[in-house]
Amino acid sequence: MIYNKLFAIILPLAVVGCTSSVEDARLNQPSWQGSSSKSMEALSQCIYSGWSTSRVIAKDDTSHTEMKPGKTTVYTWEESMFVDLTPQGSGTDMRFYKTFEMGETVLADRLSIVQHCR
């Protein structure tokens, strides 16, 4: 019984230690970076659509897009992964970040969607 209570206290603390904020993630190198000749709008729609329904996660209602002047960010699953899109010449710069250590299958799925949309 005491072990269950101890586990219930330690597990959330361990998980919090493995996460970072969106701003903290941006201070580090992106997990992947690329560019595209597509517009920010076309890329954000493609990534959002792909992340909302993918082969690994059938339906993800947490994916969302945030648009600010000069930058669009597409987030997935409680902001555990996101891609910043900024205009670059006639195309778009793409920077993929993660704030949480996801399983390799999920990470590879999300990154492949970003690269496919490129």
Query: Tens of pLDDT along 31-86?
Result: 999 999 999 999 999 999 999 886 666 677 789 999 999 999 999 888 999 999 99
- 80 inside domain: yes
104-117 and 40-52 helices, crossing angle to 10°: 150
What's the domain count of the chain?
1
- 57 inside domain: yes
- 7 inside domain: no
Check residue 8 and give its pLDDT.
39
**For the whole model, what pTM was predicted?**
0.79
- 24 inside domain: yes
Domain holding 51, by residue range, is: 20-117
- 47 inside domain: yes
Distance (Å, whole) CA 107 – CA 37 = 24
- 9 inside domain: no
Distance (Å, whole) CA 109 – CA 13 = 27
- 1 inside domain: no
